[in-house]
A and B are shown apart, each in its own frame.
Chain A
Amino acid sequence: MTMPPDDAPDTRLASLLDALPREATPPAGVWSRVLAAERARRGRRRLGIGAAAAALAVVAAWGAWPARPLTRATSPFSATVSGDMTPGIFSRAVLPEEARDPRLRAAVQEFEAWQVALTDPRRSFGWPNAARRAVVDAVRDTEAELAAVRAALVVHAGDEARRQILLDHLTTLRALQLEQLQRARVLLDQL
């Protein structure tokens, strides 16, 4: 192969460019399309990051909010009781007579306070795990009996005297549930 003379660089460059394959040369407007696609990708990425940050903020605010209002006027249950540590521990299928009982709301609030206490290591450090489970089980056991009484109320809907007895059972059980939660908190706080 003969080298071109040193005094003719433009000629050599032109010959080299001519030797390049024709298809390697990008077609007209391709760079603008590449840049547009890159901008779109960055835009989608920023949108995803923003959405994730917003979701994290919502989750953090939801968990940190100390007390939330009731979800419905007829439902005394907040999302904390039904959705966090012990999902669905309190039945949502309460009767209007139960919903009017202030002890129901007190029991739910007491349980929410219990959940908050569990997240405070300074307060709950000395609480044995078995005792923690016992408190939750007590609420659950009482809810099971309450459900049984409600089922009996449906069966005896037309018997007013029987219905009144069963409503008394509901009241007694709810009072026992509230008292158990309160006494457990007092005992554990003494440890």
Chain B
Amino acid sequence: MRARSFAVWHAATGWLVVLSMLALSPSSAMTQHTRPVHGGWAVAPTAPIKLHVASGDVLVTGWSRDSVHLEGEMAEGETLFALGAWGGLKLGAEGRTVRGASRLRVFVPSRADLTVRSGSAAVEVSGLLGAVDIGVADGSVRVEGAPSTLTIEALSGDVQVEAPNGTRHVSRGETANTAPAASPNAASAAASIGALRVRTTRGRITVRGHIQAAQLATVSGVVDVSAAPLPALRVSTVSGNVHLVTASTLTAPVQVETFGGSVYVTRPRGTTTEQLHSDTGEVMRNGQRVAATNISPSSAVLLTVRSFRGTIVVNDTVPR
């Protein structure tokens, strides 16, 4: 009898543990209630805006008004905070929450300087012309538009930068009339990113569009740059592969350094002088193995690719 009651007790506690784990699992917690939030604050057109969000989805859009507007849904247990005044604003969600629970859309002046910090939020930014600085531990980052400077740091998340394909760089000194209006896409269509710095640990870095200068670094993430022309570019990886694609002749120096990662370059035939060197890997040009060249500093060399054990593959495209 005692053995039977022990078996019943044992089974009951086992199910209790399983049910408790299910109740605490993220999928179950995702169903928790959210509540709508909104707020508005008047700020200067070039005011620094700092946004802190632990998790969820954050969409930041530049607009032509001199104010910040926030709307969306916030998880229970989180509270909206905002500190600051006309000269600058710090806002966001604080409290313990569940990943993916909050969804916020924030409108900021397009010429404001924006700083975003998040643990695991998916951050999207568009239509900004000032300096943008985004730091995310695990979430993904996507930036569309033409900030004057763009700095992104992510540990495990992917980074995607979509710059416009125009050639004019919009400076912060432009007046409100020439700055982007309600449509950020219309504003960024004629601009470019002034300086781009991206650093990830293992997240993929994808860059498209017109950028004047870029520094991209990762440990094991893949770097994928496609632009015409390529910007003045420095890429550094430990084990991540690098893909560079351009349909235009190089006009600015491009330097790539990897250790275990391979490098793939596709550019027009007869582009520039170049130095391609891999200590123990192969160097291939248009499917043919070629001898590695020695690397020596020279301002005349526009394409420098150096790897320790990665393969270097350069393919010519036929000029249009």
By a beta-carbon cutoff of 8 Å, the part of chain A in contact with chain B is 126-131, 133-135, 137-138, 141-142, 144-145, 148-149, 152, 165-166, 169, 173, 176, 180, 183-184, 187-188, 190-191
- Min distance, Cβ A12 to any Cβ of chain B, angstroms: 46
Contacts of A135 in B (CB 8 A): 155, 201
Are B155 and A173 in contact, CB atoms less than 8 angstroms apart?
A: no
Give Cα A145 to B259, complex, Å.
7
Give Cα A31 to B199, complex, Å.
80
Interface set, chain B 77-135, CB cutoff 8 A to A: 99, 117-120, 135
Interface set, chain B 45-79, CB cutoff 8 A to A: 54
Contacts of A152 in B (CB 8 A): 279-280, 308
Give Cα A130 to B120, complex, Å.
9
State which of A127, A128, A142, A191 has its C-beta within 8 Å of the C-beta of B219: A142
State which of A134, A169, A191 has its C-beta within 8 Å of the C-beta of B201: A134
In the complex formed, the residue of A with least CB distance to B217 is: A176
Contacts of B54 in A (CB 8 A): 126, 191
Contacts of A141 in B (CB 8 A): 219-220, 238-239, 260
State which of A126, A130, A144, A145 has its C-beta within 8 Å of the C-beta of B156: A130
Query: Cβ of B227 < 8 Å from any Cβ of A?
Result: no
State which of B118, B199, B202, B236 has its C-beta within 8 Å of the C-beta of A183: B199
Contacts of B137 in A (CB 8 A): 127-128, 130-131, 187-188, 191
Give Cα A176 to B308, complex, Å.
15
Are B117 and A191 in contact, CB atoms less than 8 angstroms apart?
A: yes
State which of B118, B138, B220 has its C-beta within 8 Å of the C-beta of A138: B220
Contacts of A166 in B (CB 8 A): 279
Are B259 and A173 in contact, CB atoms less than 8 angstroms apart?
A: yes
Are B260 and A148 in contact, CB atoms less than 8 angstroms apart?
A: yes
Contacts of B117 in A (CB 8 A): 190-191
- Min distance, Cβ A179 to any Cβ of chain B, angstroms: 9
26 contacts between A and B (CB under 8 A): A126-B119, A130-B155, A131-B137, A131-B155, A134-B138, A134-B155, A134-B156, A134-B201, A137-B201, A138-B201, A141-B239, A142-B219, A142-B238, A144-B260, A145-B238, A145-B239, A145-B259, A145-B260, A152-B279, A169-B308, A173-B238, A176-B236, A176-B238, A184-B201, A187-B153, A190-B135
Give Cα A153 to B143, complex, Å.
43
What 9 A-B pairs have minimum CB-CB distances, sorted nearest first? A128-B138, A131-B137, A134-B156, A131-B155, A138-B219, A134-B201, A145-B259, A130-B156, A130-B138
Contacts of A188 in B (CB 8 A): 137, 155
In the complex formed, the residue of A with least CB distance to B118 is: A191
In the complex formed, the residue of B with least CB distance to A180 is: B219
Most chain A CB within 10 A, of B119, B259, B260, B279, is at: B259
Contacts of B243 in A (CB 8 A): none
Interface set, chain B 143-166, CB cutoff 8 A to A: 153, 155-156
Are B156 and A131 in contact, CB atoms less than 8 angstroms apart?
A: yes
Contacts of B208 in A (CB 8 A): none
- Min distance, Cβ A146 to any Cβ of chain B, angstroms: 9
State which of A129, A131, A148 has its C-beta within 8 Å of the C-beta of B309: A148
Give Cα A165 to B259, complex, Å.
13
Can you add 8 more A-B contacts, CB < 8 Å, to A131-B138, A176-B219, A180-B201? A131-B137, A131-B156, A137-B202, A141-B239, A141-B260, A145-B308, A152-B308, A187-B135
Most chain A CB within 10 A, of B201, B220, B260, is at: B201
Are B119 and A127 in contact, CB atoms less than 8 angstroms apart?
A: yes
Give Cα A142 to B120, complex, Å.
25
Are A137 and B119 in contact, CB atoms less than 8 angstroms apart?
A: no
User: Are A183 and B153 also in contact (CB < 8 A) when A137-B202, A173-B259 are?
Assistant: yes
- Min distance, Cβ A188 to any Cβ of chain B, angstroms: 6
Contact with A along B216-254 (1 / 0, CB 8 A): 000110000000000000001011000000000000000
Give Cα A180 to B120, complex, Å.
19
